[in-house]
Chains A and B, each alone.
With several copies, the nearest count.
Chain A
Amino acid sequence: MKCHDDALIRLFHVYKRYGAKNALFDISLDIFKNEFLFLTGPSGAGKSTLLKLLYLGESLSEGQILIDRMNLARVSRKRAPELRRKLGIIFQDYKLIPTKTVYENVSLVLEARGMSHKFIQKKVHSVLRTVGMEKRKKSFPPGLSGGEQQKVAVARAVVGEPKIILADEPTGSLDADSAGTIFDLLTNIHARGATVLVATHDAELIRSAKGRVIQLKEGKVVAE
């Protein structure tokens, strides 16, 4: 049996308010090491907000979040890079740098960690090949289709082999085939020990995969 100490990510009574609006309301949740967790719920339920709290994209209004023994409610903003390096994040709106090429967008993550030039080159190419974007490595994001941008965003998230993957609607712009590829990639990484958290409203995706499902609605957990 999993006990509480195994939890990699713990949320205790977390609230997030934007003005008067409760985007998240009293969320308590333990996510265990090497779990594959789905976060689902209608538009505006708070899925992205929950992920934002986890990567310090927003600060929480109340409650506590522990990730890998780091207390996000207390930790100084200066330690955000340290936290974010443990995470691979697929943003709902991709957040690719429009003035950098596909290759540069992906390699950036490794460069920032001071990896060797050679290693970076090999690793970035291999990841781009996996998502099917190797041929477009010199393109700039505005010259890519929506789905292609999403593939690059996935490549960037996984290239650093993070312990935790936070994926916000990672297959929203993809056709069934491409979505399958991306999902296989995530499953693969999960198999290699990573903890994966996927926010999606794609019911089919959830059905086809096995994993815990947390359902949010108006900021509250309504089903697990």
Chain B
Amino acid sequence: MKSLLFKRALQDILNNRFLNTVTVITIALSVLIVSSFALFFTNANELLDTWKKGIRALVYLNPETTDANRLDLKYNIQKLNGVSEARFISRKEALAQMKVQMGRQSSLLESLKPNPLPDAFEVRLSPDSQTMAAIEKLSKAIELLPHVDEVEYGRQWIGKFTNIINMLRFVGYAMGGLFLVATLFIVANTVRLLLYSRQEEIAIMRLVGTTDRFIKMPFYIQGVILGALGGIIGMSGLYFAFWFVSEKFHRGLSAELLDIHFLPLDVTAGIIVGSMIIGWIGCYLSLKQFLKA
């Protein structure tokens, strides 16, 4: 019985080859749109994360701080909400870093014999606190701790940068959501249009006494098959495009700076399953409409 249903569904697809091809192409293209955007967005998000990790506060210590005080302070800072890490940077390390940063002009630091820099903690924020407001609040809290001289965090720059990143991310989610909803509609609509051409057939089947279940099953199977085909073709297309782009840029990109990945296997599988579900939903909506009367 099961295999008969499956056979009926496949036969049906073959009998309506043209329309089914058109439908599979539409589904594949929709999957391609959504998944290519998802691919872009996950990779871009990683990039943004890397950049955002650069947001930090420097906590300059009082020159009189003892080693014991320093450990206390580190403990106290790390206890604060929103802090992910507090790394000690000795004044020696700070000067060395600065020299590296200054490049050619570093020669002018050579002459400084008594190192004028203070010891410091570099405080990094936990991912969910990388906002202007959080860093401000945190700085205030740290400033109140003993042995802290000053807290520096590039107020303006961070504000703008996090705002841009947040906006990019918001726009990304918004566009992703939009694309998803749009293609869901498109696929469901396409399946509806497809079934529209079968309306007469459905009406006749009902008139000769078949149950709705008997009518629906092959269509559902077809919807799921079409969804699966569309999903697989779409994801294959994406993989091919991804492969092409990453080949093209392979030479120029150092692995650490921007390491692009394809969508993980579970997401890929999820998209294909999703596409099958949409095929099913498209059938469901059409059939509901036709079988209402």
Contact = CB atoms under 8 A, between A and B. Distances in A.
CB–CB under 8 A between A and B in the complex?
A: yes
Interface of A: 55, 57, 80-81, 83-85, 87, 89, 91, 95-100, 108-109, 111-114, 117, 156, 160
Contact of B205 (A85, A108, A114): A108
A99 to B, nearest CB: 5
Contacts of A80: 206
B66 interface: no
B152 interface: no
B201 A97 contact: yes
Contacts of A100: 15, 201
A97 B205 contact: yes
Main DSSP-derived SS at the B contact region: helix
10 contacts: A81-B212, A84-B206, A108-B208, A109-B209, A111-B214, A112-B205, A112-B208, A112-B210, A114-B1, A156-B208
A89 B209 CA distance: 10
Contact of B211 (A55, A81, A95, A117): A81
A95 B210 CA distance: 14
A108 B15 CA distance: 16
B207 interface: yes
A81 B209 contact: yes
The 8 closest A-B pairs by CB, nearest first: A84-B209, A112-B210, A85-B209, A81-B211, A97-B201, A112-B214, A95-B204, A81-B209
A55 B15 contact: no
Nearest to B8: A111
Interface of B: 1, 4, 15-16, 200-201, 204-212, 214
Given A99-B15, A99-B16, A112 B209 contact: yes
Nearest to B293: A77
A85 to B, nearest CB: 4
A81 B16 contact: no
Given A89-B208, A98-B200, A156-B208, 19 more contacts: A81-B206, A81-B209, A83-B209, A84-B209, A85-B209, A87-B209, A89-B207, A95-B207, A97-B201, A100-B201, A108-B205, A108-B210, A109-B209, A109-B210, A112-B210, A112-B214, A113-B209, A114-B1, A117-B4
A91 B210 CA distance: 16
B207 A55 contact: yes
Contacts of B209: 81, 83-85, 87, 109, 112-113, 160
